[in-house]
Amino acid sequence: MQEHAKEHATSQATAKRIEDALAERFGEACPVDPGLPGLDELARIAGHRVHRRFLPRTVELALLRLLCACALSAPSKSDLQQADILVVRDRAKQRAITALIPDMPWIADAPVFLVFLADASRLPQIARLRNKPFPNDHLDLFFNAVADSAIVLTTFMRAAAAVGLGCCPISAVRDRPDVVSDLLELPQRVVPLAGLCVGWPAEEGGITPRLGLETTLHEDRYQVDDLAQQIDGYDRRREQQRPYRRQRDPERWGKAASYGWSEDKARQYAEPLRADFGAFVRAKGFRLE
């Protein structure tokens, strides 16, 4: 009986943790039934945050392999299995990647650095091996491989969080995809989706508020009533909860009296970013028609 009461109290506390995390994330209440199974998993998902600072503590290879196997258990479009994980164990290679991205020192400091790959190289090879035509060399091939790779990355992060590890994806490996591709000897029709820093977190980190569910959760049809107003509301909420430490490119845009998410993202995307990525993907043998 006492045991039962203890379990009930634990479930209630976990349900409350999820409610608090989601309130912080979305600025609205999301009631959680303490009787639901799987609350620990939901608590980890709701409380997600990336980690960029790590303890100088090794991540055992056997654990890493286990997490990779769990990640590669993720669903795969048509069971085509077009995602791979590349473990960068050579510190010289990790340093070479860091050197390409000097504003992200957490890459060099990460005890483990992985690269998640969209791998559409196997299907055309299988067609040749089995003496079949391959009329599917178009955008969907690329899209499916990217989707599989993103799902494997997310599943890895969930598995890592379950054992207490922290992660930070690094799409900046696509700033110089040609160099990364050469360094990692990626064949044709294999492109990096993102890197991933992995380690034991050195700090707890905090929840980043997201756009309200009124903006990103739709029912029956796509509908957003007043995007400008919703974004204003989100900017205010975010500025209160997690203000930006510095403003982006003040030389070009000046110092804004109020600096929210939309100002930051508008400034970020006022610069051309990875405009040559399409050319890289095409050079890697993908047809994007």
Out of 27, 166, 169, 177, which residue is the one contacting ligand FMN (CB under 6 A)? 169
Residue 52: CB minimum distance to ligand FMN, A:
6
Q: x/- string (CB under 6 A) for ligand FMN, residues 90-109?
A: --------------x-----
Q: Which stretch binds ligand FMN (CB under 6 A): 47-55, 119-127, 181-189, 245-253?
A: 47-55
Q: Side-chain half-sphere of 51: how many Cα atoms within 13 Å?
A: 24
Tokens of 195: 């890197």
Is residue 216 within 8 Å of residue 232, measured between CB atoms? Answer: no
In the DSSP assignment, the letter for residue 14 is H
Interface with ligand FMN (CB under 6 A), residue total: 11
Torsion sign (Cα): 25, 213, 17, 157: negative
Cβ–Cβ < 8 Å for 107, 170? yes
Least distance (Å) between residue 51 CB and ligand FMN: 8
Nearer to ligand FMN, 44 or 48 (CB): 48
208 interacts with ligand FMN by CB under 6 A: yes
Tell the smallest beta-carbon distance from residue 251 to ligand FMN (Å). Answer: 22
Q: Is 15 helix (H, G, I), strand (E, B) or coil?
A: helix
Q: Is the dihedral of CA 76, 79, 82, 84 positive or negative?
A: positive
67 close to 163: Cβ distance less than 8 angstroms: yes
Taking CB under 6 A as the rule, does residue 194 contact ligand FMN?
yes
**Cβ 57 to ligand FMN shortest distance, Å:** 21
Segment contacting ligand FMN (CB under 6 A): 14-22, 168-176, 184-192, 268-276? 168-176
Nearer to ligand FMN, 118 or 170 (CB): 170
Backbone angles phi, psi at 219, to 5 degrees: -130, 120
Examine residue 170 and tell whether it contacts ligand FMN (CB under 6 A).
yes
By beta-carbon proximity to ligand FMN, the closer residue of 48 and 248 is 48
User: Where does residue 277 fall: left (phi above 0), alpha (psi -120 to 50 degrees), or beta otherwise?
Assistant: alpha
The residue among 123 and 183 lying less far from ligand FMN, judged by its C-beta, is 183
Q: How far is CA 77 from CA 121, 140, 144, 147, 240, in A?
A: 15, 11, 7, 8, 41
Compose the 128-167 pattern: x for residues touching ligand FMN by CB under 6 A, - for all others: ----------------------------------------
Cα 226 from Cα 212, distance rounded (Å): 12
Which of 64/170 has CB closer to ligand FMN? 170
Residues lying near ligand FMN in the complex (CB under 6 A): 48-50, 104, 168-172, 194, 208
